[in-house]
Amino acid sequence: MITEGKKQTIKLVIAVFALVLIITFACIMMMKYEVEGETNMPFQLSKIMIIGTAEGVEQEESDLKWDFSIYQNNDIYFYIDQNEEIDEDDLLIKNVEISNINVTKAPQKGTIQTYMPNSEAGRLYSYDEQFLVQDSLTYKGASQSSSTNLEIGSKGGTAWIRFSNTNIGNYSSDKDEEIVHDGSLLEKIEATKEELSFEISFDFMIETTENKYKANINLQLPTGDLAAEKTCYLEKTDMSDIIFKRVRE
């Protein structure tokens, strides 16, 4: 016969066991979230395209036919698509922000500068100081993406940024009949892939009308051997290493 005391002990053991199971399950879910992050976001970073090249920036007041400071440019395109599995017409992209930009490994030659698209007519990027990214770069949700207005489509679109290795070296000449603004300029100043290689990290946040999601992204740039390839292209569609988590406020 089970006494009242034993009944209470059994109930306590069952309660403790149930509590341990609940805590264990919660810990497993938390650990899974830390590893996988958000797995069903309403808007997803579907592709990152990186275009690397080199460019000669003309020196002022030079009497030479060609007189350039050489820059190595890495243009980054972020493609954000709506999750087709989530059918909410009133759910929109409010902002996309790139922030906390850090050069985690500096190149042996040159200085890394970050540029936003040019808001004036003409080229996509300009080296004017007004287009340098200081703390962060924000794209506002709009009817469609616009580089000049720093806008991204509220139902999905593209955001742009340039990481430029500036003042790698100078090239001056009166002999060249033609200059091509690509990786061939790096050969002229004998800049190697190893000397130009650098790594950069930044936070990438997608803010919707309901929540904010943020991930840290690390890139090794440039993505190829520009002296050999002249222009490098890379499309990244595997986002398994980019973990978005909900921003708690």
Summarised one tens digit per residue, pLDDT across range 39-52 is 789 999 999 999 99
| Bond before 222 cis per omega within 30 degrees | yes
Count structural domains, the chain: 2
Are residue 90 and residue 197 in the same domain, yes or no? yes
Q: Which residues constitute the domain of residue 8? A: 1-36
| Shared domain check, 209 and 110 | yes
144 with 241, same domain: the answer is: yes
Residues 203 and 128 in one domain: yes
Q: Are residues 233 and 128 in the same domain?
A: yes
Same domain, 140 and 236: yes
pLDDT in tens, the chain (249 residues): 566 666 666 666 666 666 666 665 555 555 554 545 567 899 999 999 999 999 988 877 777 788 889 999 999 999 999 988 877 778 999 999 999 999 999 999 999 999 999 987 678 999 999 999 988 999 999 999 999 999 999 999 999 999 999 989 988 877 777 788 888 899 889 999 999 999 999 999 999 999 999 999 999 999 999 988 899 999 999 999 999 999 876
One domain, residues 64 and 24 = no
Domain check: are 107 and 229 in the same one?
yes
Whether residues 118 and 16 share a domain: the answer is no
211 and 123 within one domain: yes
Same domain, 31 and 102: no
Q: Are residues 131 and 22 in the same domain?
A: no
